[in-house]
Amino acid sequence: MNRKHWLGLILLFSIWLPFANLSAAVSFRVVALFNGKAMLQIEGKNHLLRAGQQGPHGLLLISADSSRAVIEVDGQRESYGLGRHVGGGFVRKEQLEVTILRDPRGAYLITGSINGRSTEMLVDTGATSVALSEVEARRLGLDYRVSGRKSRVRTASGVAPAYSLMLDRVRVGEIELRNVEGVVIQGNSPHRVLLGMSFLTRVEMDNQGAILVLRSQF
Stretch 74-82: mean pLDDT: 83
Domain 101-216 of CATH type 3.20.20.80? no
pTM confidence score: 0.63
Stretch 126-139: mean pLDDT: 95
Can you tell me the distance from the alpha carbon of 9 to that of 81, in angstroms, rounded to the nearest whole number? 41
Cis, bond preceding 190 (omega within 30 deg of 0) = yes
Stretch 8-16: mean pLDDT: 36
Q: Is it the case that residue 82 has pLDDT exceeding 80? A: no
Long-range contacts of 18-26 (CB under 8 A, 24+ apart): 22/57, 22/58, 22/74, 23/57, 23/58, 23/73, 23/74, 23/76, 24/87, 24/88, 25/87, 25/88, 26/57, 26/59, 26/73, 26/86, 26/87
Counted residue by residue, the chain has a size of 218
The answer to whether 27-92 and 101-216 have equal CATH topology is no
pLDDT of residue 110: 94
Q: How confident is the model at residue 94 (pLDDT cuts 50, 70, 90)?
A: low
What residues does each domain of the chain span?
27-92, 101-216
Stretch 57-82: mean pLDDT: 86
Q: Are 154 and 194 in contact (CB under 8 A)?
A: no
CATH for 27-92 (3.30.420.40, 3.40.50.800, 2.30.30.830, 3.40.718.10): 2.30.30.830
* 169-192 residue pLDDT tens: 999 998 999 999 999 999 999 999
pLDDT of residue 41: 84
